[in-house]
Amino acid sequence: ENSASAMRPILLKGHDGPLTCVRYSKDGDLLFTTCRRGRINLWYSDDGERIGTFASAGAKSAAVMYVDVNFNTTQLASASMDQTARLWDVETGKKISEFELQAGSRCVSIASGDKMLAVVQDPYQDQQSCVRIFDVTSNKEIKKIDMD
């Protein structure tokens, strides 16, 4: 039997809005999806079974644009249009930290070693787009790089 006939589609039910990002864990066993309605879902990639949803209590329901997962799949970072980036515990689904921004964010990246977080901030009023680098242990911004 050839591989094309052995493939079967997997239906992921769990988002009520358009998807904005799909991200595999480094091992490929887990799949993270985000949507414009503010949800981050976690799935088993082999069968599409939903493991859970990451949600902040009391958080505004703004579009989550992007996620990144660290090498050991213990932490997940999210970029949102509610002017925050968040760091999550993958096993529990609980928010570890929140990073306040001055505008919405479309992209986030966890640095190797899990000590820094890079966040792309959208332009806002008279501010241009920038990359903000945070120290995740202190939750403090350590560098801001303005974009032309």
At 81-138, the pLDDT tens digits run 999 999 999 999 999 999 999 999 999 999 989 999 999 999 988 889 999 999 999 9
Residue 3: φ, ψ to 5°: -65, -30
Give tens-digit pLDDT for 28-41: 999 999 988 888 99
Q: Does this model's pTM top 0.75?
A: yes
Sheet holding 140-146, edge to edge: 105-110, 116-121, 130-135, 140-146
What is the DSSP-derived secondary structure letter of residue 129?
P
> What is d(CA 111, CA 43) in angstroms, rounded to the nearest whole number?
23
Full DSSP string of 42-109: EEETTT--EEEEE--TT---PPEEEEEE-TTSSEEEEEETTSEEEEEETTT--EEEEEE-SS-EEEEE
